[in-house]
């Protein structure tokens, strides 16, 4: 009996200690100083990508109510966006533990879907299955809620399962509730990727980029267009048959020869860049200081110049380089005396590159090139080259 009394006494002391150490809710300082209001603000800031402000709002909600599920769900997403997935999942688990009612439970399931998608294989090799599991739990709560379908579409997109992704975005548009603008944009992107039909894993990954770099472009030309094979098969071989003395084959004094590009040694796409450098594609060669600048974004004007040069070299038509010089410009934002005007005309008249705005006819030479647009241009170019 004495032992039991001692155990009860210890347990009681521990409980008192825990309650004493637990964070105490602070008192509200204004009418709108409520957990609900701060979470609402936090979600607005999160959607606007104002991460620090969102973080502050979610923290204020927790100060007022240390067990407010929606605030922990918001913090979990912020940590995920900051690539701190460990803290992201920790906060999402707290959100799940405190969740009350269908709305909060739904938010938790969607939150886990988003975190697993952010982390991908870095978090779990079976991340997509876990997203699907949470998706199924979410639509059991409400089969007509738009959020689970939207984020399931994002997950399928990141897994390169574009057909399934399109179905989810289509469902969001069918429901016509929340996320319709976002789903419409994503659906258009997926349709463009489906038309481009990227065949390589690199191509599928680049298809999702809003803007591509010089390295990405090199990879697309090698992996998707197979430009190295096209050049080998369709360009004339040049043989040097001039006389050379026997000593000419022995070179001395070439110690420390500088590589064509000195800033790509550790780049994951180095092999593709090396191949493109050998092909000497105009606009995609190393600069005079032996820098390739693999992370520099390319513009639409630069991309047009590259496409034009590939065309000229493969179809062996040097006249293409001057075909539209002196012509009247159909573009309101492009003079006909600019160095990339001819390339823009070559690409648009062949429907390889579209104008940025069909209504105004603007070309937008300084605009960025998305992965999907680049892939679609490459697909059209590839089909056109089949007849040569």
Per-10-residue mean pLDDT for the chain, 388 residues long? Answer: 53 46 64 89 95 97 96 98 97 97 97 98 95 98 97 98 98 96 97 95 96 98 96 65 51 61 96 96 96 98 98 94 96 96 98 94 97 97 89
Q: How far apart are CA 316 and CA 231, in angstroms?
A: 11
Cβ–Cβ < 8 Å for 87, 94: no
Torsion sign, CA atoms 147, 150, 154, 156 = positive
Crossing angle (nearest 10°) for helices 101-119 and 85-98: 160
Q: How far apart are CA 251 and CA 48, in angstroms?
A: 62
Query: What is the model's pLDDT at position 288?
Result: 94
Query: What is the model's pLDDT at position 232?
Result: 87
Cβ–Cβ < 8 Å for 44, 37: no
Residue 113 half-sphere exposure toward CB, CA atoms < 13 A: 25
Query: What is the model's pLDDT at position 358?
Result: 87
**Terminal Cα-to-Cα distance of the chain (whole angstroms):** 97
Query: What is the model's pLDDT at position 17?
Result: 46
**DSSP-derived 3-state class of residue 90:** helix
Give the pTM.
Answer: 0.84
Query: What is the model's pLDDT at position 388?
Result: 75
Domains for the chain: give ranges and CATH numbers. 23-202 (1.25.40.10), 206-236+259-385 (no CATH)
Q: How far apart are CA 193 and CA 172, in angstroms?
A: 19
DSSP state of 299: B
Q: How far apart are CA 159 and CA 258, in angstroms?
A: 40
Query: What is the model's pLDDT at position 256?
Result: 54
């Amino acid at each position: 009996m004495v032992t039991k009394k001692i155990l009860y006494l210890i347990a009681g002391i521990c409980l008192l200690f825990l309650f004493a150490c637990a964070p105490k809710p602070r008192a509200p300082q204004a009418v709108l100083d409520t957990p609900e209001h701060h979470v609402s603000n936090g979600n607005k800031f999160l959607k606007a990508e104002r991460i620090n402000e969102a973080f502050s709002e979610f923290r204020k909600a927790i100060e007022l109510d240390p067990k407010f599920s929606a605030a922990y769900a918001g913090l979990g997403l912020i940590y995920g966006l900051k690539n701190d997935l460990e803290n992201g999942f920790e906060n999402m688990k707290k959100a799940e533990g405190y969740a009350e009612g269908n709305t909060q439970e739904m938010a938790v399931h969607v939150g886990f879907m988003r975190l697993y998608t952010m982390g991908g294989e870095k978090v779990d090799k079976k991340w997509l299955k876990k997203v699907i599991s949470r998706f199924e739990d979410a639509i059991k709560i409400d089969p007509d809620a738009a959020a689970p379908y939207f984020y399931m579409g994002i997950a399928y997109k990141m897994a390169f399962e574009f057909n399934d992704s399109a179905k989810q975005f289509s469902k969001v548009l069918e429901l016509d509730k929340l996320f319709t603008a976002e789903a419409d944009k994503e659906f258009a992107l997926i349709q463009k990727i489906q038309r481009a039909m990227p065949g390589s894993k690199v191509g599928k990954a680049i298809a999702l980029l809003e803007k591509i770099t010089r390295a990405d472009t090199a990879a697309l030309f090698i992996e998707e267009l197979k430009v190295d094979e096209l050049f080998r098969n369709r360009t004339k071989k040049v043989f040097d048959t001039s006389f050379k003395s026997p000593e000419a084959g022995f070179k001395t004094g070439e110690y420390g020869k500088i590589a064509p590009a000195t800033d790509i040694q550790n780049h994951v796409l180095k092999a593709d860049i090396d191949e493109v450098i050998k092909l000497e594609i105009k606009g995609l060669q190393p600069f005079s200081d032996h820098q390739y600048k693999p992370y520099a974004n390319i513009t639409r004007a630069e991309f047009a110049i590259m496409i034009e040069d590939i065309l000229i070299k493969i179809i062996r038509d040097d006249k293409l380089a001057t075909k539209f010089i002196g012509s009247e410009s159909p573009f309101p934002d492009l003079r006909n005396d600019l160095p990339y005007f001819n390339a823009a005309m070559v690409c648009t008249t062949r429907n390889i590159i579209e104008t940025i705005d069909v209504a105004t006819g603007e070309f937008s030479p300084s605009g960025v090139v998305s992965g999907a647009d680049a892939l679609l241009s490459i697909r059209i170019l590839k089909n056109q080259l089949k007849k040569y």
